[in-house]
Structure 1
Amino acid sequence: MSDSIASLTLSSVVLPLETPVSDAKVLTGRQRPLTEVVLLFVEVTTADGLQGTGFSYSKRAGGPSQYAHLREIAEVALGQDPSDIAKIYDSLLWAGASVGRSGVATQAIAALDVALYDLKARRAGLPLAKLLGAHRDSCRVYNTSGGFLQASVAEIMEKATASLEAGIGGIKIKVGQPDWRTDLERVAAVREHLGATPMMVDANQQWDRARARRMCRELEAFDLVWIEEPLDAWDATGHADLSRTFDTPIATGEMLTSVPEHMALLDAGYRGIVQPDAPRIGGITPFLKFATLAAHAGLALAPHYAMEIHLHLAAAYPTEPWVEHFEWLNPLFEERVDIRDGRMWLPERPGLGFTLSPRMRELTVETAHFGAPRR
């Protein structure tokens, strides 16, 4: 007899950052510095006593909306077989059909979707990557958190050195200064400091097409692994044109919130690096759908943020990916990722391989419980 979902617990968590960070969107006046991350956690328990945990997140806005939407529709999952992940996903989509199938609507479902995959792998006694069918036991890893624009070049160099000494394999820094010459000066200084270490830059969507072409041409000299989001995230044609014009790969996709939005890149003839984000695209279910299509198109993969989830998904991608290292979420989990020799290694623990910390409970601002009473 099949198992069933007996209860769900939703938690809204507000995680403050030690230091506010700024990227190009702040310097252009479009956003305020980032001071906190709001997360939606879902804990699933089945009638047989199995458990799984997943999360989604939002920066600057959307966290309370994700929580509110899932709170409205979560009961639909009760009583369903937790192995029927695709069926449950569709039932949640239909329960909230009036708000669409992208953005907050699917980012809310993502937390539950991730939890069901975590549960399924835990039940099998396997790390999630092994359940999906891993191609490797580790992935190349790069650090972003030390390269934001509020940091001086000296601070970036100091943090980059510390990251490399801690086993990180590549360094990404932000660009998109109001004066493009400042960008080139900063990139040149950091490149000289790093030597042959793999290096990436990220403009966070703040160039128009003319400026992006000029900057990509100037940046060719620095032997970068990629130039990220040179254009508006939804400018699929522009990104595709840049990816076919320059030798340095173009990377984009982190802001897109559905498979169709990602597919617009492929339809436009994009030849760069795709950066889907499982919580943003709507969960592991849609992430895997797009990853299959991206692999078929021969595209490289570098998932955005949420390394606790993306390490597993990257390990299951056919070609060698990069995983982004952010230590911001560390306080929420008991375990730490294993980083050495420029790579992030899969945990041997089942599921995602992480358990929630007491600090996560302390940072919880709202909870909702559905189904059987909590034990």
Structure 2
Amino acid sequence: MFDTDKRLIPAQPPKAGFAAGPATQDAIKTVKLSLAYLPLARPISDAKVLTGRQKPLTEVAFLFCEIETEAGFSGLGFSYSKRAGGRGLYAHACEIADNLIGEDPNDIARLWDKLCWAGASVGRSGIATQAIAAMDICLWDLKAKRAGLPLAKLLGAHRDGVACYNTSGGFLSSSIDEVKAAIDQSLASGIGGIKIKVGQPDPMIDLRRLDAVTEHLNGRVPLMVDANQQWDRVTALRFGRLVEPLNLEWIEEPLDAYDAEGHALLARELATPIATGEMLASADEHMALIRADAVDFIQPDAPRVGGITQFLKICAQADAKRMRLAPHFAMEIHLHLAAAYPHEPWVEHFDWLAPLFNEELEIRDGRMIVPARHGLGCSLTGKARDWTVETTTFGG
């Protein structure tokens, strides 16, 4: 029989939000969440559109988080969604954001766990982590501002500039002449690499476009291709062997994002490096790729995996395997994270987000330069406010 006089558990088990201790210097006063829709200048198509799986992209939904503290510090973070999910991100963020009120904004890892457990019923991936990401990134921005440092310097930068490549000019919705013109514009602006989209139902069309781009580039900068998950293993292997003489920097998303075994096969069989990871929505999902030696370039997206806290976990594991890093999209965030990665990375240049932020990132001699501004170094424009459709503030 059990001795009921002896307690087997503490009378008051630890809670997610402990009372502030003597090391606490500040507390979160308000959390403001906003949902905005950024319209694109023209509809965008990649292979997922040409294979009939998605519609052309016409806008990007953004979840913005702005936090203010009792001591007068503030931060800005964001997450995003393409084609669907924007309102879901906003709704889930609104359900859990009040858990931050009164907390020490410096305890970012603990606050990530607290937010995750507050919405545990929807899991630890997808909308759940992407909603947390906006708040997590905001807290890191705030922490760097409080320290008076650019985020890259707070994390411990290995470099003050990161090699950058352009993607936004190479979509399948652009004619080959438009792609060539975009390449010329990118190179004139100082871009250090070019990526074009492939993965159409007829691979021969991809090869013809790739031949035209290769001839136009004439080896001036590295070239990457991106199939957006639209090949099967046989097609990816055949295509990869055909293009090996081109010395591509990488083949991106040749297979379904969750096919770690298939990517590992390609990584073993092909001389061209393999890159993937952007569509995964948690650190654990990236671990499957890393454990399987499935990629040469890991491509996490901080807003998708749950923010900077989770991104850094991925980087630690990738570093142990000496993998290269090439974060997806959101260069305003990823420039800082790539600058802090031990092995020479790439960062992806997209001009789509320029209307959202007052500041511009400098590109020089093929590299994107870490700004001297504190935190992420970003502030929202009037247009970003105009495109906002919903706002909620917690605390006060």
Aligned to 1:349: 373
d(CA) in 1 for partners of 2:293, 2:217:
33
Which of 12, 26, 32 aligns to 2:49? It is 26
The alpha-carbon deviation at position 2 of structure 1 amounts to 2.0
Contact 1:240–1:272 (CA under 8 A) maintained in structure 2: no
What is aligned with 1:160? 183
Per-residue Cα deviation, 1:119-163 (whole angstroms, up to 9, x for no partner):
000011100000000000000000000000011111100000000
C-alpha separation in 2, matches of 1:154 and 1:101: 43
Map of 2:11 onto structure 1: none
Distance 1:47 1:29 in 2: 51
For the residues of structure 1 that align with 2:112 and 2:275, how far apart are their CA atoms? 29
User: Does 1:293 pair with 2:317?
Assistant: yes
Distance between the aligned counterparts of 1:271 and 1:166, measured in 2? 30
Task: Kindly provide the amino acid, as one letter, of the partner of residue 287 in structure 1.
Answer: F
Residue 207 of structure 1: aligned partner:
231
SS of equivalent residue, structure 1 residue 52: strand
From 210, 222, 227, the counterpart of 2:251 = 227
> 1:138 is matched with which residue: 161, 169, 172?
161
Query: Alignment partner for residue 109 of structure 2, among 86, 100, 104?
Result: 86
Structure 1 residue aligned with 2:335: 311
Q: TM-score, normalised by structure 1?
A: 0.98
Contact 1:42–1:55 (CA under 8 A) maintained in structure 2? yes
More displaced, 261-270 or 306-315? 261-270
Structure 1 partner of 2:212? 189
**What is residue 196 of structure 2 aligned with on the other side?**
173
CA drift of 1:271 comes to: 4.2
Identity of aligned residues (%): 63
The one-letter amino acid of 1:229's match is E
Q: After superposition, where does 1:350-369 map in structure 2 within 5 Å? A: 350-369=374-393
Instruction: Determine if contact 1:244/1:271 at 8 Å carries over to the other structure.
Output: no
Tell me the distance in 2 between the aligned counterparts of 1:88 and 1:179: 48
Runs of 4+ in 1 over 4 A off after TM superposition: none
Query: Which amino acid is the alignment partner of residue 2 of structure 1?
Result: Q
Output the amino acid matched with 2:251.
I
Structure 2, unmatched stretches of 5+, are 1-23
Shift of 1:219: 1.4
1:307 deviates by 0.1
Residue equivalent to 2:74 = 51
Q: 1:258: which partner in 2? A: 282
**In 1, Cα distance between the equivalents of 2:335 and 2:92?**
27
Matching of residues 317-336 of structure 1 within 5 Å: 317-336=341-360
Match of 1:121 in 2: 144
Q: Helix, strand or coil: the match of 2:88? A: helix
Secondary structure of the structure 2 residue equivalent to 1:68: helix
Q: What is the distance in 2 between the residues matched to 1:258 and 1:145?
A: 25
Q: Distance in 2 between matches of 1:27 and 1:240?
A: 26
Equivalent position of 1:278 in the other structure: 302
- 1:267-305, Cα deviation, whole Å (9 max, x unpaired): 223241100000001100000001010011110000000
What is the TM-score when the length of structure 2 is the normalising length? 0.93
CA distance in 2, matches of 1:221, 1:59: 35
Question: Secondary structure, in 3 states, of the residue corresponding to 1:234?
Answer: coil
Partners of 1:259 and 1:124 in 2: CA distance: 27
Q: Could you give the per-residue CA deviations for residues 37-83 of structure 1, whole angstroms, max 9, x where no partner exists?
A: 00000000000110000000000011110000010010001000000
- Computed over aligned residues only, the root mean square deviation of the Cα atoms, in angstroms, reads 0.7
Q: Residues 85-123 of structure 1: CA distance to partner in whole angstroms, max 9, x if unpaired?
A: 011111101100000000100100000000000000001
Q: Distance in 2 between matches of 1:173 and 1:269?
A: 25
Q: Pick from 77, 85, 109: which aligns with 2:100? A: 77
Counterpart of 1:157 in 2: which secondary structure? helix
Q: Deviations over 1:223-281 (max 9, x none)?
A: 11000000000101001110111111000000001111101112223241100000001
Partner of residue 13, structure 1: 36
Question: Residue 127 of structure 2 aligns with which residue?
Answer: 104
Please say which structure displays the higher CA radius of gyration.
2
2-side partners of 1:320 and 1:313: how far apart?
12
Kept after mapping to 1: 8 A contact 2:275/2:295: no
For 1:58, what is the secondary structure of its paired residue? Answer: strand
